Amino acid sequence: MQNEPLIIIKEVGRKYVIGSEIIHALKSVTLNINKGEFVALMGPSGSGKSTLMNILGCLDTPSKGEYILNGIHVSEMTENELAEVRNKEIGFVFQTFNLLPRASSLDNVSLPLVYAGVSKTERNERAYKALENVGLGNRVDHKPNELSGGQRQRVAVARALINNPSIILADEPTGNLDTRTSVEIMGLLEEIHLKGNTIILVTHEEDIAQHAHRIVRMRDGLIESDYPNEHIKKVSPRLQDLEDNGVDFEQIN
């Protein structure tokens, strides 16, 4: 893992005004995430976890503090500027997949490239390769209702990777999946991480968080703890094969 900060958050706070009441969803959060890390962000309802996720994903801006993503100061950007950063720097994977129901897998995956102004030929070539990389090369013409839950999430992962983003932000990516499929998706995320991608996993499930290499826990709008995970789960057969053949995960991470 490269010891180079990809995300720098300094004393970030977020307040909302609802009627006459001021709610401090985030009080003061300082956090660095390095390139190549696999971080789980955890916390109970009302902890500020979702607010921090929205700020990390450039879906919201802080009321105070500073956010630097891959050298870009995003704290005070306009909506259009934030949209551009989201498309270039962040790959999203959501609990509800967020796929276009009437579009094929290929068209769903290539959608971010449409906004980026990439030609149709290149879009299709890159989308097909991305689907092959997540094991869905034979499902490119299938629509979401023709896919299982796990396959839909794989399409979402391929879409998240299509622009070679700085970070993959996975928000409860296994929330709508059964246990076996959840294991498969977490194995896929592990493989993506092993290739050098930075992953931020937002989850309330302890067993899912245990796949990350670092766990940040939040409570009452503050970071309660931030520790390396000493009990990392490795569930991907391909990762196990690598380990059996002498790959040193401690050295990698």
pLDDT at position 236? 53
- Listed in sequence order, the residues at least 6 apart from 65 whose beta carbon sits closer than 8 Å to its beta carbon are 9, 10, 11, 12, 13, 28, 29, 75
- Whether residue 204 lies inside any domain: the answer is yes
In angstroms, the CA 167 to CA 165 distance is 5
In a domain, 54, yes or no: yes
Number of H helices, E strands in the chain: 9, 10
90-94 and 167-171 strand pairing: parallel
Is residue 3 included in any domain, yes or no?
A: no
Asked if residues 184 and 231 have their Cβ atoms less than 8 Å apart, the reply is no
Question: Strand 222-228 relative to strand 214-219: parallel, antiparallel, unpaired?
Answer: antiparallel
pTM, full prediction: 0.86
Output the pLDDT for position 76: 80
What is the C-alpha to C-alpha distance for residues 80 and 75, in angstroms, rounded to an integer?
Answer: 13
Phi-psi region at 125: left, alpha or beta (left = phi > 0; alpha = psi -120 to 50): alpha
Residue 50 resides in a domain: yes
H or E segment and range at residue 17: strand 5-18
At residue 95, what are phi and psi to the nearest 5 degrees?
-60, -40
Q: How far apart are CA 174 and CA 155, in angstroms?
A: 14
> Looking at the domain assignment, is residue 180 inside a domain?
yes
Domain count, the chain: 1
Report the pLDDT value the prediction gives residue 235, as an integer from 0 to 100: 58
Per-residue pLDDT of the chain (253 residues; tens, 9 = 90+): 457 899 999 999 999 999 899 999 999 999 999 999 999 999 988 899 989 999 999 999 999 999 999 999 998 888 899 998 998 899 999 988 999 999 999 999 999 999 888 999 999 999 999 999 999 999 999 999 999 999 999 999 999 999 989 999 999 999 889 998 999 999 999 999 998 899 999 998 899 999 999 999 999 999 999 999 987 876 555 544 544 544 443 443 3
In-domain check, residue 16: no
Phi (first) and psi of residue 181, to 5 degrees: -70, -35
Residue 222 is part of which domain span? Answer: 35-60+73-252
Question: For position 78, which CATH number holds?
Answer: 3.40.50.300
